[in-house]
A and B are shown apart, each in its own frame.
Chain A
Amino acid sequence: MIGSSQTLNSLGAKVVVASSCDESHPPENITDGNPHTFWMSTGMFPQEFIIRFAEPTKISAVTVDSYSVKHLKIDKNTSQNASQFESVTEKEFEHTEGHLQSNVISLNGSSATHLRFIITSGYDHFVSVHRVSVQD
C-alpha cells in the first residue's frame, strides 16, 4: 500500500482528545473515512483534536476535509503519551462556500504516534472536520 491513502480507522487510529463535543457530531466522525459525517466545534478558538496511532507510523502527508477552517497547525510526537509535542507544519486554508475544504498537508514522511491538529482560527464561529486521512 505504498503512497496510498488510508482511512484512519483501518490503521487502528483514534481521536483521543477533542476540545468540543456535540454528542450528535462526535470526534469519532473524523476517523471513520466518511465525508458526510463530521465533528463540529462548539465555539471559541483555538480548537484541537489529537489522533493516536496504534504504533509509530510513517506519514508523508495528511488530507483534511473540513469547513470554515482558516488556520491549522499540526504537531506530532513519538511517545506513548499525548504529551511533549513538536511542531511540524501549519497552513492557511482557503475559504469555501457550499462545499468542503480539502487540503493536503505534507509531513515529510516523519514518524508519529500522535498527531495534534490545532485550529487557531476560522472563517466562522464554528468549524467542522469531516475526514482526516493519511498517506504513507
Chain B
Amino acid sequence: MTLFTSSHPANESTATGCTCSQDGPIKHLCVWLLRDALCPCCRGASRKTAKKKKTKTTESRASFSVINETRGFIYSVWTLSTLMVKLRARCLLVGDAAVGKTALSHMFHSDGTLFQKNYSMTTGVELLMKCVNIPETNNSVELYIIDSAGKQTLVEACEKMWGELSLLCLVFDLTSEQSFANCSHWMERVHAHCHGLHIPGVLVGNKSDLSARREVQVSVAQEWAQTQGLEYYETSAKEMENCDAPLLGLARAFHSLYQERRETIQNLSPA
C-alpha cells in the first residue's frame, strides 16, 4: 500500500510550535488520534486523550481494535487529502486594445506591486507564469498567462501563438461601450480556435475607478456574461482593486474541472 509510505504524522518532530492545527482540521484530528502523547497544539484535545487513556485500561480488546481501525481509516483519509497535484493551465487574456490587459496581468503577477503608469501597446504575445494555491487543499495551479495584443491588425498573427487553451480571461473597459460590444467578437474567435472544447472563462470589466465615465452598467455586463457561461468581475488595476479575483477564480474553476474529470475516469469501464 503506497498510501502509508508517506511520512507518518506520529514520526514528525513536534518539538517546537504547533504543527497540527496549521494543516487543517483533518490532520489535527489525525495527530490527536494517532499519538498517544499529548497533542502539541491543542490543550482541549490533549485533555481528551488523557481521559481516553484512563478508560482504555478498563476496556476490552475488541474496542481497542475499533479504535485502531478508526485511526487507520482517518489516517488514510488524511493521507489522501494531502497528496499533492500541480495542475497547469494556459490562460488566454484577450479584449480590445488599451482596456488594461497588460496592467491587470502585471498586477496579478507582481502581487499588486507593479502598475505601469505609461501605456505601451502590446504588439505580440507576452507570457507570464504564476502559481496559485487552491485553498483547503495541497494542490496548486500554474497559470501560464498569454497576454495577447488587442489591436485588430495584430490579432491574426498573435492567434498562432495561443496554442491549446485551458482558460479564458476576456477583458473590456468599463468606460468604453465599444470595447464591451466587441467582446462577442472575441468570444467567436476563441470558440473557433478551441474546436468545440469548452474552456472555463471570466469576463472582466476593468477601470472601475473611473466611475464618472462609466458606460457599461453592472447588470448589463453580468447578464451578457451569464449567457456566455462566464463569471463576471469588475477590477481596477490602477487602484489595485479586485485584480487577483478573476485569475484566482479561473484557477479554482480549473481545479474543480480536474477533480470532476478524475472522478469520471475512475468510473470508466475497460474498452
Seen from chain A, the residues whose Cβ lies within 8 Å of a Cβ on chain B are 20-25, 35-36, 38, 40, 42-45, 65, 67, 96, 98-102, 121, 123-126, 128, 130
B271 in contact (CB, < 8 A): yes
The answer to whether A22 and B85 touch across the interface, beta carbons within 8 angstroms, is: yes
B214 in contact (CB, < 8 A): no
The answer to whether A65 and B261 touch across the interface, beta carbons within 8 angstroms, is: no
Tell me, in angstroms, the Cα distance from A22 to B138 when the chains sit together.
Answer: 11
Interface residue SS majority, chain A: loop
Tell me, in angstroms, the Cα distance from A128 to B80 when the chains sit together.
Answer: 20
Contacts of B90 in A (CB 8 A): 43-44
Partner of A42, one of B85, B164, B269: B85
B270 in contact (CB, < 8 A): yes
Q: Mark B255-270, 1 if CB is under 8 A from A, else 0.
A: 0011001100100111
Could you pull out 8 A-B pairs where Cβ atoms are within 8 angstroms?
A22-B85, A23-B84, A24-B85, A42-B258, A43-B88, A44-B166, A125-B166, A126-B258
With both chains docked as a complex, state the minimum distance between the C-beta of B244 and any C-beta of chain A, in angstroms: 20
The answer to whether B166 and A43 touch across the interface, beta carbons within 8 angstroms, is: yes
Q: Given contacts A67-B265, A124-B197, A128-B265, are A42 and B88 in contact (CB under 8 A)? A: yes
Partner of B164, one of A40, A45, A67, A99: A45
The answer to whether A121 and B87 touch across the interface, beta carbons within 8 angstroms, is: no
Tell me, in angstroms, the Cα distance from A124 to B86 when the chains sit together.
Answer: 18
Contacts of A100 in B (CB 8 A): 268-271
Contacts of B163 in A (CB 8 A): 45
- Residue of B at shortest CB range from A37? B266
Partner of A24, one of B80, B164, B271: B80
The answer to whether A125 and B197 touch across the interface, beta carbons within 8 angstroms, is: yes
Partner of B89, one of A35, A43, A101, A128: A43
With both chains docked as a complex, state the minimum distance between the C-beta of B263 and any C-beta of chain A, in angstroms: 11
Q: Given contacts A23-B83, A124-B197, A125-B197, are A43 and B258 in contact (CB under 8 A)? A: yes
Tell me, in angstroms, the Cα distance from A130 to B266 when the chains sit together.
Answer: 10
Q: A40-B265, A124-B261 are in contact. List 10 more A-B contacts (CB 8 A).
A: A22-B83, A22-B85, A23-B85, A65-B271, A98-B268, A98-B269, A100-B268, A100-B270, A126-B258, A130-B270
- Residue of A at shortest CB range from B254? A43
With both chains docked as a complex, state the minimum distance between the C-beta of A129 and any C-beta of chain B, in angstroms: 10
Contacts of A98 in B (CB 8 A): 268-269
Q: Mark B189-221, 1 if CB is under 8 A from A, else 0.
A: 000000001010000000000000000000000
Contacts of B268 in A (CB 8 A): 67, 98-100
Contacts of B186 in A (CB 8 A): none
With both chains docked as a complex, state the minimum distance between the C-beta of B185 and any C-beta of chain A, in angstroms: 25
